[in-house]
Chain A
Amino acid sequence: MKKKVDTNKIEISFSLNGEKKTMLIKSSMILLDLIRDEIGLTGTKTGCNEGECGACTVLINDVAVNSCLFPAINIQGKNVTTIEGISDGVKLDPVQEALIEKGGVQCGFCTSGMVMTIKGMQTKFKKGKHKPTTEEIKKGLEGNLCRCTGYVKIVEAAEKVIHGHS
């Protein structure tokens, strides 16, 4: 329930990386700032703050979004997953494993966003029972910029987890 406390603070309840949370936040707060500055999870990156680079990608109810443009109050009642919550804490997620093994990580600044976007795609395609083409996978990655890798290895990693082969 959104409950007004003072003029510009609002209480929201949501789940972050599987953990229930209730917080009092400014109504104007952006999700990326909530995650990085208020909660202190710094795995989600700020590349542009303008919705252009995808470094800040997180999952909201399994859908990849740019958290730098996303009003934090809109996560009320939803599940937010960041890079810190993508694996079970014991083993890496297959997306992470594939990126490492294929060599899709150089400076790594885009990597959190890439992991979340690939994860989001994987879920979407699985739900729709759709086997995407390489072109569709590349299209899905268009919102994530990477200056180091030339994307080849990232696309390979995405194909591996989405198509389930190597």
Chain B
Amino acid sequence: MAKKLNIIGTPTPKLDAGIRTTGKAIYGHDMKLPGMLHGAILRTQFPYADFTIDVSAAKKLKGVICVITAEDIDTNTISYKRDHPVLKRGTVNCIRDEIAAVAAETKEIALEALKLIKVNYKPKRGIFDPSDSLKEKAREVNRFLKEKKYEKNVADKFFYEHGNLDEQKKKSAVIVKKKFELQRMTHCCMATSNITADWNVITKRLTLYSSTQVPFLYQRDMAHCLKINPSDIRVVQVVIGGGFGSKLDMNPFEPIAAILSMKTNRPVQILYTREEEFIASPTRQTMNIEMEAGADKNGNFTFRDIKIIKDNGAYTSWGATTPFVMMQTFSSLYQCPACRFESVAVYTNNPNAGSFRGYGNPQATFAMESVIDLLADELKMDKAAIRLKNSNYKGEITGQGLHFETCGHKESLETVIEKSKRQDAGGKMQDARYKRGIGYGSMLHVGGGAKIYRSDGCGTTIKLDDYGYLTIVTGSSEIGQGSETVLAMMASEELSIPLSKIKVVNTDTDVKPWDVGVHASRTTFVAGNSLLGAIDLLKKKLNKKAAILLNTPAEEFIYENEEIKNSNYQSVKIDKVVREIHFASPSELCTETYFYEPSSKFQDKGFKGNVSGTYAFAAQAVEVEVDTYTGNIKVVKIEVAQDVGKVLNPLGIMGQIEGGVLMGVGYALSEELIMENGYVKNPNFHNYKMLTASDVPEINFYPIETNDSQGPYGAKGMAEAPLIPTAAAIANAVADAIGTRIYSLPLTPEKILRALNEKSNNGHSVVIR
């Protein structure tokens, strides 16, 4: 694409920034429908218990319109494995469990009614550690899972291998084997979960004002749950106050709102409190990762052998499929001749895990990059050099069959290694109290969607009106990430229509064409290509008419200043061409539809195959300062280089980079949802420590443009990547600073002090967990 770009690559504020800055955006919390009732959910008090329930007093309260328990509803179980009942009957399995719901005239009455529900619990001893669930005598945690493919309490399992492990082991000069523990992290979307359901008793249709990030899968899941036809459900996406993967699964509160609406024939709204959000939202998976890896005497990686146990919680979400992503990292990030990967998702009586930006990759990358440092230590090799030596390259087809047609891995690494070189030539700041260190991390992630559903495509309909305004109806969704703006920029680039004359419609399943949803950093790539396909069709139509109007062959036209021009500088206004097409016989509209399906393939049973249209790479180098008296870690600077294919909107990219990196810093240093015997101990912002403006380190970003031939203008997906290597790089930097390593996250001051203590006691480094 040699042609000069006008708007692509120019910093462009988000199209919707205006309404979001003036308080005019309507989020789910702001929805009000005539006659709307307020719903509230009663959750269990015990993580594992049998119970009986009596709602009679609640039903009598003035202003209460409807109370439901499992006895009152006829639904299918929900979730990725259909192992999650919407309302629980007789037994609860975790502390988030819904046991009754109320619809009332006001929020206050609904909450009052919950207090009147009498529940008799018989608490039982739950299983909260996956290793206990796997014991022979353990009882069955989830009795709803129908397909009994695996042993007891195993919700899902993945096995992958390539190469000859034994041979590679023999070739290894050094072998490292370590265990890593990853904590529960939660999304903390600033808008809590919300839904407004509106059942129309006359048309027998259901409208859902929802924050889902996958509207078409949601429509299908909801229909299955409620036993109605998907097309009788209209999903209208409200303005979404943060997604980050949390809205990939449908959760029980959503069908509950729908059922309450169907039973009352009135709209029903359910809004989570912040405490409810902490307790009842699926989290990032906690994991135990055991990794063994080797390198030959020259530092070439030889093999990796990985075993992962994931705490699934009581039910199974899409998050159970995170091994798809993790195995890519283990099999294919840095060249690796042999790899074996095994993971199990194990049921426990903890709240269920879900999907979260990075989709298992921050966990995998933490283990991987820690092990690389350890291998370098064993080999007495430079940590930068060992990475560069093994980095991925353009044209590589990995053991798993991923095809890196473009690859900015090495360049990303080189960039951050160079940029993070210490200015003070003397190296480490030698202060008795404050120790400085530098750590590296890199990552591989899908960059062109991920074929895990039957279609990974996206449809677009565009409409150019008689006044030269363009409407883009895209299947994709805006969840704050700025996809609307990027799509409008692409259309503006192609047609020379200014952004002010472009409208993006993307919130209504009755209107928009199919799309699989916002995940896998796929929107810019897939929705972008879909839009460009539609514009191509539209241009053909316009060019044909312009050729007649200008009396030239169609091929030569350029689009400039809302005009179609031929090589003799004769031109005609685009809106005039539209009107000529519309009003002159044979009348036609300037409307086109295009569906784009990426070239990616389903993987085979052994998980081999080119699962994404393209792949994104990134590297980060972090400098930290550890206070050895208090154990506090200060992240001083983060150098970020990322293969984004091509920068489309620098302003949008920077926002994703900074937001993602800070999320990664939180994952590394402070964020953990603490569970104790099945209870969430810190369900509030006071005790769950999200970082604030004062915690932001210096973040420098260096885009690597590899111009992917399949991406729109060469772009790749990029939005998950910034958070993926951050925690890994921070942990490496901390180890570099204090000379001992911590194998779990978050890196709390207590862990640091304990590690320092044990180091000085033993005189050498030890494993701290």
Contacts and interface: CB of A to CB of B under 8 A. Distances in A.
| Residue picked from B14, B25, B189, most chain A C-beta under 10 Å | B25
Interface in B1-49: 11, 13-14, 16-27, 29-30
Contact of B242 (A100, A112, A147, A151): A147
Contacts of B13: 100-101, 103
Nearest to A100: B17
A79 B250 CA distance: 43
B694 A107 contact: no
A84 B22 CA distance: 6
B729 to A, nearest CB: 16
Interface of A: 41-50, 52-53, 55, 82-84, 87, 92, 96, 99-101, 103, 105-112, 115, 135, 137-139, 141-155
Interface class of chain B by DSSP: loop
Q: Is the interface of A mostly helix, strand, loop or mixed?
A: loop
B190 interface: yes
Interface stretch (B393-401, B410-418, B605-613, B648-656): B648-656
Interface string B634-655: 0000000000000000011011
A149 B655 contact: yes
Nearest to B480: A107
B662 interface: yes
Contacts of B667: none
Given A45-B29, A49-B274, A149-B655, A154 B21 contact: no
A58 B6 CA distance: 40
A152 B699 contact: yes
A55 B190 contact: yes
B651 A103 contact: yes
Query: Which of B11, B22, B27, B663 is the most central at the interface, judged by chain A CB atoms within 10 Å of its CB?
Result: B22
27 contacts: A42-B26, A45-B27, A47-B191, A50-B686, A52-B684, A53-B190, A53-B685, A96-B21, A99-B21, A100-B13, A100-B14, A101-B13, A107-B191, A107-B239, A108-B21, A108-B241, A109-B189, A111-B20, A111-B21, A137-B693, A138-B696, A141-B693, A147-B188, A147-B659, A150-B659, A150-B699, A155-B693
A107 B21 contact: no
A41 B26 CA distance: 11
Closest 3 CB pairs of A and B: A43-B23, A108-B20, A107-B480
B241 A52 contact: no
B655 A103 contact: yes
A138 B694 contact: yes
B557 interface: no
A82 B30 CA distance: 15
A53 B689 CA distance: 11
B20 A105 contact: yes
Contact of B692 (A49, A109, A145, A149): A145
A47 B694 contact: no
A106 B22 contact: no
Given A149-B658, A155-B696, A52 B686 contact: yes
B694 A147 contact: no
Given A42-B30, A50-B684, A147-B663, A105 B21 contact: yes
Contacts of A105: 14, 17, 20-21
Contact of A112 (B23, B660, B686, B692): B23
B529 interface: no
Contacts of B757: none
B21 A115 contact: yes
A150 B244 CA distance: 14
A151 B493 CA distance: 30
A145 B23 contact: no
Interface string B687-699: 0001011101001
Given A46-B29, A101-B13, A150-B661, A52 B685 contact: yes
Residue of A55, A103, A110, A153 ringed by the most chain B CB atoms within 10 A: A103
Contacts of A155: 693, 696
B191 A103 contact: no
B189 A103 contact: no
Nearest to A97: B21
Contacts of A150: 655, 657-663, 696, 699
B22 A148 contact: no
Contacts of B192: 46-47
B203 to A, nearest CB: 28
A50 to B, nearest CB: 6
B497 interface: no
B694 A109 contact: no
Contact of B694 (A108, A142, A152): A142
